[in-house]
Copies of this chain bind each other. A is one copy, B any other.
Amino acid sequence: MKNLQIQIEVSTELYCKNPDSSELGRKIISTSIEMINEMGFESFTFKKLGIAINSPESSIYRYFKNKQTLLIYLTSWYWTWTEYRLVLATTNVKSPAERLNKCIEIITQPVEVDDDISYVNEVLLSEIIFSESLKAYHTKNVEEKNKIGSFKSYKSVVQRVSDIVMEINPLFEYPHMLISTVIEGAHQQKYFAEHLPALTDKIKDKNAITTFYKELINQTLNIK
């Protein structure tokens, strides 16, 4: 059941040629995920990627307009995949509070096991999302990118979890604010723990961040 193959569809606006459609395309995705993880998004370039996969830079440009679009592609893939995970984890769970709890776990924790089937390493990809995804939408051309649907899958995840919040507390005025605060917060806190520990607290166990945001939500929505 765990290993059934699902096909992640990414909006056609996010690539020139679908990387899923060829060997080279898949190599571009899998290798870029590894490289961005190792060197960070700024240091990563198409030239370096070309050398790593033994293809000229110009071939990569046939798949992606530029490296920002590649990052958006990756985040889009991640959030589409994550929405599947949310659906899977919440179907047949009656209690909305329990469903919300499950969702918070999924959105606040990096992925720990790769399914080993596709060319996308989900563990490394989730690391990228946690540490680099905000660079996908913190640019001068956000609105343009947003207009062509670049952030649709992320927004969809926020909407889905917000819907559960509204189910629990229909009078709560800021469900989207709450959920995007939790998602972005969880990413940041992990980053702080690794690089700027003074901005966060001693992480006793690896679930501390999830625990914190669960509590935050339960208190805010008066659950239990």
- Partner-B contacts on A (CB < 8 A): 39-40, 42-43, 134-135, 137-140, 142-143, 146, 151, 154-155, 158-159, 173-178, 180-181, 184-185, 188-189, 191-192, 195-196, 198-201, 208-209, 212, 215-216, 219-220, 222
A169 CB to nearest B CB, Å: 12
Q: Which residues of B contact A212 (CB under 8 A)?
A: 173-174, 177-178
Nearest neighbor of A199 in chain B, beta-carbon distance? B180
Query: Taking chain A's interface residues, is the majority helix, strand, or loop, or is none over half, making it mixed?
Result: helix
A210 CB to nearest B CB, Å: 12
Nearest neighbor of A186 in chain B, beta-carbon distance? B181
Of B140, B184, B196, the contact of A42 (CB 8 Å cutoff): B140
Q: Are B185 and A151 in contact (CB under 8 A)?
A: no
Q: Which residues of B contact A175 (CB under 8 A)?
A: 201
A17 CB to nearest B CB, Å: 27
A167 CB to nearest B CB, Å: 16
Q: How far does the alpha carbon of A137 sit from the alpha carbon of B197 in the complex, in Å?
A: 13
Q: Which residues of B contact A176 (CB under 8 A)?
A: 198-201
Of B180, B191, B199, B201, the contact of A188 (CB 8 Å cutoff): B180
Q: Which residues of B contact A180 (CB under 8 A)?
A: 188-189, 192, 199-200
Q: Are B40 and A196 in contact (CB under 8 A)?
A: no
Additional A-B contacts beyond A151-B198, A158-B198 (8; CB < 8 A): A43-B140, A155-B196, A158-B199, A175-B201, A176-B199, A178-B216, A180-B189, A180-B192
Q: Are B185 and A181 in contact (CB under 8 A)?
A: yes
Query: Which one of A40, A139, A199, A208 has the highest number of Cβ atoms from chain B below 10 Å of its Cβ?
Result: A199
Q: Are B195 and A140 in contact (CB under 8 A)?
A: no
Q: How far does the alpha carbon of A107 sit from the alpha carbon of B174 in the complex, in Å?
A: 19
Q: How far does the alpha carbon of A139 sit from the alpha carbon of B138 in the complex, in Å?
A: 13
Nearest neighbor of A202 in chain B, beta-carbon distance? B173
Nearest neighbor of A131 in chain B, beta-carbon distance? B138
Q: How far does the alpha carbon of A219 sit from the alpha carbon of B199 in the complex, in Å?
A: 21
